[in-house]
A and B are shown apart, each in its own frame.
Chain A
């Protein structure tokens, strides 16, 4: 009863505040557009994610890394021992995986490339990569994930490391941390995006594999 009253009060307060919220026409759209030429990406969302608010994205990749470390620590790793499981192989799934996995990797690369000037980007590419990894796992080819476990764990950290390197490069060039020099911004952003995409893909696949149902 008490919690119902509390929840209703919170909902009413939220409703009141969003309805009476002052409306600034255009929001930050114009300010982003004005500085888009200085950013290393021509798509406004990518420019915000990887240039204007790069700190935010960096720490978010850090959150992902922490979550993977915590799940690896909590989950019973003995359970997650990965060997090829031929019982799990199924002719149909094998066929789908044979065509689908290379296609998914291609699509991930396309999304990554599109991100600089169109909708797409590192997170979408990473999600597609993770899907490819999960298809491989479901197909029973568990050793693919198991053999390269240290490699996968390195990949999870890659996004964080890429941001760190790009940020420090900006420092070395005499600018603020993560304030990319304009002539290098586009290249640095592509490198960071590649790192983040691999990171997101590896992290999501690992989270699935470690926490999978028996």
Chain B
């Protein structure tokens, strides 16, 4: 198993775990963290792709895409957190209403 395969499989596992957390958890802060980690799994994959050719220098295009992605992820996270704070200030709660008891 090559180094790339290890990183790629780990990123696929993190993506699956965070997708599960994003759907199941009612607390909005957990959802934002899950979304963030989901993005990080994609960054991990892209950096692994960039480093795939061991002989030469890393591929700059995926690296530039990660750099772009980080800034977008930070702004999306800030927006999500601002929405949660506003929701908390207005209604005093920061979870989605739990309709089915076995949701957790």
Contact = CB atoms under 8 A, between A and B. Distances in A.
A175 B75 CA distance: 32
A32 B61 contact: yes
Contact of B20 (A4, A27, A70, A123): A4
A44 B64 CA distance: 9
A14 B83 CA distance: 31
B72 A29 contact: no
Nearest to B5: A19
Contacts of A210: 82
Contact of A26 (B16, B20, B56, B62): B56
Nearest to B59: A27
A57 B68 contact: yes
A114 interface: no
Nearest to B19: A7
B75 A45 contact: no
Nearest to B90: A76
Interface in B29-59: 45, 49-50, 52-53, 56-59
A49 B64 contact: yes
Given A7-B17, A11-B13, A49 B68 contact: yes
Given A18-B9, A76-B89, A45 B71 contact: no
Contacts of B50: 27
A205 to B, nearest CB: 11
Interface range on chain A (Cβ under 8 Å from partner): 35 or more
A14 B15 CA distance: 9
Contacts of A6: 19-20, 23
Contacts of B63: 45, 48
A106 interface: no
Secondary structure type dominating chain A contacts: helix
A3 B23 CA distance: 7
Contacts of A57: 68
A109 interface: no
B75 A67 contact: yes
Contacts of B83: 74
A210 B83 CA distance: 12
A210 B76 CA distance: 15
B85 A75 contact: yes
Contact of A29 (B53, B81, B85): B53
A47 B60 contact: yes
Given A3-B20, A28-B59, A70-B79, A23 B64 contact: no
Given A23-B52, A27-B50, A76-B89, A211 B81 contact: yes
Interface in A1-25: 3-4, 6-8, 10-12, 14-15, 18-19, 21, 23, 25
Interface of A: 3-4, 6-8, 10-12, 14-15, 18-19, 21, 23, 25-29, 32, 44-45, 47-49, 53, 56-57, 60, 63-64, 66-68, 70-71, 74-76, 121, 123, 200, 203-204, 207, 210-211
Closest 6 CB pairs of A and B: A11-B16, A67-B75, A27-B59, A7-B20, A44-B60, A18-B8
